A = this chain, B = another copy of it.
Amino acid sequence: MLDLRRLRLLRELHERGTIAAVADALQFTPSAVSQQLAVLERETGVALIARAGRGVRLTDAALVLVEHADALLTRAAEAEADLAAASGEVAGRARIATFQSAALHIALPAIETLAGTAPRLRCEVVEAEPESALPALALGDHDLVLADEWEHQPRGLPRGVERHDLLRDPVRIVLPARHRLAREHRETVPLTSLADAHWTAGHEELGWDEMTRWTCRAHGGFDPDIRHRTNDAIVTLGLVARGLTVALLPGLPLLGAPRGVAVRAIADADVRRTVFAATRAADAARPSTGALLGAAREAAARIEEL
């Protein structure tokens, strides 16, 4: 492994011509310079210096090495400068795990902002459900997790993970626009009137499915006939638009609701989820973590304004 200090001596020798001059310039004795260059020769196994009269001359091989030394020393100086600049700066790598609708409406806007305000931060997005993403966060696989929590089912957080609430997201009834209840143009729709509908919800054991069954039972008094299962709200909205199903969906995925879909509040019920960001407590002081959280909060605030 080459040593930059010794390479520096070689470069200086090339610049200044004599070992004595190098020693003078770098505040060493000539003996020290001579010894270090001898070590460099031994390490590389290549003759670098030849006596020439009263002084020395660099061999051809040494000239090749001087070129590299120059490049390396320049690069090393840049690295030091860059490191100093980066010490307080938001930089590095940030891995964001998020569920689909938060990806579209929180993570992506946040990353767009960060690309401007923190160009040295490399953001990576992974789509993952909170059930698996939160434990993975604690294990260090992610740096920020966007997750949600239904009111009827609080989420336990792994140890060492902190929660930062972003927005409270009301659940709506989603109907085909040509559905009888949609055409009545009422603001709210009672759940009981949908007891016989075909429902869509997420895969079992995930929050959406839980919430749909819980809400229909608590506020409508029936067990929904769940005919379609997908975790993709966009697919669900497509099913609704084609008149094939109804669903309970929180506001976030409804931001991109297509034509043919009617959104109504649930009559006499206020079902909500909380969307939150989770980080490792150990990362609290990290500049990048703060920037991530700030950008996520900002994106969430812009949504709540709507």
Contact = CB atoms under 8 A, between A and B. Distances in A.
Given A46-B84, A86-B46, A286 B60 contact: yes
Contacts of A156: none
B75 A69 contact: no
Contacts of A4: 1-4
A132 interface: no
A159 to B, nearest CB: 10
A137 to B, nearest CB: 12
A100 interface: no
A306 interface: no
A8 B3 CA distance: 12
Interface-central residue, A45, A52, A64, A75, by most chain B CB under 10 Å? A64
Given A57-B282, A68-B75, A92-B60, A80 B120 contact: no
A60 B1 contact: no
A268 interface: no
A5 to B, nearest CB: 6
Interface in A86-126: 86-87, 89-93, 120
Contacts of A90: 60
A78 interface: yes
Contact of A57 (B8, B82, B87, B140): B140
A45 B92 contact: yes
Interface of A: 1-5, 8, 44-47, 50-53, 57, 59-61, 63-65, 68-69, 71-72, 75-76, 78-80, 82-84, 86-87, 89-93, 120, 140, 160, 280, 282, 286-288
Given A1-B8, A52-B280, A65-B79, 20 more contacts: A1-B5, A2-B80, A3-B5, A44-B80, A44-B84, A45-B84, A46-B84, A46-B87, A52-B140, A57-B282, A60-B286, A61-B83, A61-B87, A61-B89, A61-B92, A64-B82, A65-B82, A68-B78, A71-B75, A75-B75
